[in-house]
Amino acid sequence: MASKNTEHEGCAFGIDPEMWGERMTRGDTSDCRTDWFRMSRFGMFIHWGLYSELAGEWNGYSYHGIGEWLQFRARISAADYAKIASRFNPREYDPRAWVALAKAAGMRYIIITSKHHEGFALYKSAVSAFNIVDATPYGKDALAELAAACREADMPLGFYYSQTQDWHEPDAFGNNWEDIQAKRNFDRYLEQKVLPQIRELLTGYGKVAFLWFDTPGAIDAAQSQKILQTVRELQPDCLVNSRIGNNMGDYQSLGDQEIPATAHAGMWETIDTHNDTWGYVATDSCWKGPREILTRLLRVVAKGGCYMLNVGPDGAGVIPPLSADILREVGAWLQQHADAVYGAGLSPLGDFPWGTCTSNGARLFLHVFIWPPQGRLVVPGIFREKVNARMWSRQGGESLEVIPGENHIALNLPMHASSLLIPVIELECQQTPQPAPGVMVLEGYRNEFPASRAKLTEVECTKQSWMEKFGDWKHADCLTQWKRESVAEWRFKPLLSMRATIQIEYSSTFENGDTKWQLWIGSQKLEFPLIASGEDSTGIGGWPRRMRFRTIIAGTLQLNAEEQCLRLVPLEREANAVNITSVSIST
Ligand code: JFZ
């Protein structure tokens, strides 16, 4: 039975951006090889391997968190883990059904794990007998079957490949619970397994749309370059993600489940689990519903990114039915609103308190996550020409009255949202609108001022990453390293005079204690404590400390409809470790 502290023993890499290849330049949208990818916007990620058979359980102990790391967490020896192959026999594996589900979900490409950190290949590899054909009773090449199904359905197919971590191999990284890697020769691993397997994948399965690398960690630039060169020689159009490491790749894979606060230039993607694990875990039914998936997809597309959502088939080859049903609902919405996503991208108007906006040519699509009180939707922006607006669906939609205002338009909507998951309004603008100057605070919503948009004096904005369940990564831009002379400022303008409640979202350790703060809006002052929220003061086993965000009310003020500046200042030096993600104004 695993003890508590061994759960996180010995983080394989420590936490640095290079573990995940985050430092990569932002990809180049002028690279025509990525055009189809940008137009597609939405893809299926598949994590399937021996871990799927284990389903998160080992020796009668159930591990919560990402199931594909079970060997690491249960510290299973490579020899014992390899024996699991003898019971891997996915009798219900139906690649055509997987591809049909991707199509029904509106997903336009598939990327599947060809070899994850466990070292097991889902295809017939002449390089290592630790593969689905030679080592399992199933005995067939699962990737060849999937590639055939993808070709039949005209579905681009890519392969995930773990190029640095391989817990089965003495010359790779990551297995730090046995001494098998004590005399590691990573160059030998690269030459004798990685490069030959990449050649197998790029010569034996037809056109490969992506090679998706992961946790580059200790690989050096020359080694990343060797891999990239091999890909380019064999399939020049195969797109490589940033986790090949060392600032290389055709596009950036952000941190798992990370949606950037602001629009991102270049080619990039957010990747999401459907529940809280990539590989199948029998106890994890924390499925994101269709509304949450669509909200995340739309927020990513509205910032110029692509969104890849994962499915984790079980050891029999079955995608959990609830996961599949939810994906079909997502697909039904996408079918009705295709133009708002496929080929669409970031809009000039950014996010709003009520939702977000994507653009496709001269058309803007407003995605209303929170229906406006009294049915009047305020859209901040400078609209110089006449705007036509209508509720959007493929069958058309009712026209909406547009009321022009200073630096905004208002739309009179039906009193209640239609039954659609996320109602969409199409704006036809003769001239592309420009963003409103500054932030407009809208009545009836929580207007968030994120850390990334603050004007800072003697305080830093850094991205904090931590795990909730093991491997269930979260990320937040936080204002931190506060000093007595620190100031964080946000400029804004309430659309109307309003009585507003000001809230702060933060995380802080018990050691930090309760800290005192002042918040000024014009000459009005609020003074309040941020009481310790219970953040771990140190990480366990080398993993980052876990944040514990909470939101408090700083106070309520009467605000006039004029340009305002909100200033947040600590009253004590001890506030240095407090992590503040946002200030918000709600009415
Ligand atoms: C890696 C893998 O270790 C994991 O099993 C899964 O395949 C995932 C898609 O990729 O895990 C990561 C990679 C990046 C981050 C976190 C976990 N990150 O940047 O926060």
Q: What are the φ and ψ backbone dihedral angles of 64, each rounded to 5 degrees?
A: -90, 145
Class of residue 557 by CB neighbours under 10 A (exposed 0-12, middle 13-18, buried 19+): buried
Give the model confidence (pLDDT) of 368-415 as tens digits.
999 998 889 999 999 988 899 999 877 778 899 999 998 999 999 987
Q: Is the CB of 465 under 6 A from ligand 1?
A: yes
Count of CB atoms situated within 10 Å of the CB of 127: 16
SS3 of 279, please?
A: coil
- What the block records as the tokens of 109 is 């490409």
Residue from 154, 128, 158 nearest 143 by CA: 158
Strand, helix or coil for residue 51: helix
pLDDT tens track, the chain, 587 positions: 443 333 444 444 444 555 666 556 566 677 889 999 999 999 999 999 999 999 999 999 999 999 999 999 999 999 999 999 999 999 999 999 999 999 999 999 999 999 999 999 999 999 999 999 999 999 999 999 999 999 999 999 999 999 999 999 999 999 999 988 888 999 999 999 999 999 999 999 999 999 999 999 989 999 999 999 999 999 999 999 999 999 999 999 998 889 988 888 789 999 999 999 999 999 999 999 999 999 999 999 999 999 999 999 999 999 999 999 999 999 999 999 999 999 998 888 989 999 999 999 889 999 999 999 888 999 999 998 889 999 987 777 889 999 999 899 999 998 777 766 999 999 999 888 999 988 999 999 999 999 999 999 999 999 999 999 999 999 999 999 999 999 999 999 999 999 999 999 999 988 888 999 999 999 999 999 999 998 887 877 778 888 999 999 999 999 999 999 999 999 987 777 899 999 999 98
Helix (H) or strand (E) holding 454: none
The helix/strand/coil state of 88 is: coil
Decide whether any atom of ligand 1 lies within 6 Å of the 118 Cβ. Answer: no
* Contact status, residue 37 vs residue 251, Cβ threshold 8 Å: yes
pLDDT score, position 411: 97
Question: Could you give the 3-state DSSP secondary structure of residue 303?
Answer: coil
Query: Cα–Cα distance between 430 and 420 in angstroms, integer?
Result: 28
Rounded to the nearest angstrom, the distance between the alpha carbon of 169 and the centre of ligand 1 is 20
Cα–Cα dist 346/417, whole Å: 24
Report how far apart the first and last C-alpha atoms of the chain are (Å, whole number): 51
Nearest CA to ligand 1 atom 8: 256
Q: What is the model's pLDDT at position 539?
A: 78
What is the helix (H) or strand (E) element at residue 344, kind and residue range? none
**Which residue is associated with the tokens 């669906």?**
393
Measured in Å, residue 215 CA sits from the centre of ligand 1 at 7
pLDDT at 278: 98
pLDDT digits 0-9 by tens, 192-244: 999 999 999 999 999 999 999 999 998 999 999 999 999 999 999 999 999 99
Instruction: State the closest ligand 1 atom to the C-alpha of 471, by its place in the atom list counted from 1.
Output: 17
pLDDT value at residue 9:
43
Out of 50, 215, 474, give the residue to mutate to test ligand 1, the one with the largest number of ligand atoms within 8 Å of its CB. Answer: 215
Q: Is the CB of 215 under 6 A from ligand 1?
A: yes
Q: Look at residues 504, 482, 515 and name the one whose alpha carbon lies nearest to residue 549.
A: 504
Measured in Å, residue 553 CA sits from the centre of ligand 1 at 35
397 SS3 class: coil
Best mutation site among 11, 276, 278 for ligand 1 pocket (most ligand atoms within 8 Å of CB): 278
> What SS3 state is found at 236?
coil
Residue 158: closest CA among 61, 265, 46: 46
Other CB atoms within 10 Å distance of the CB of residue 344? 25
Q: Does the C-beta of 66 come closer than 6 Å to ligand 1?
A: yes
Determine the Cα–Cα distance for residues 227 and 334; give it in Å rounded to an integer: 36
20 CB near ligand 1 (under 6 Å): yes
SS3 category, 275: coil
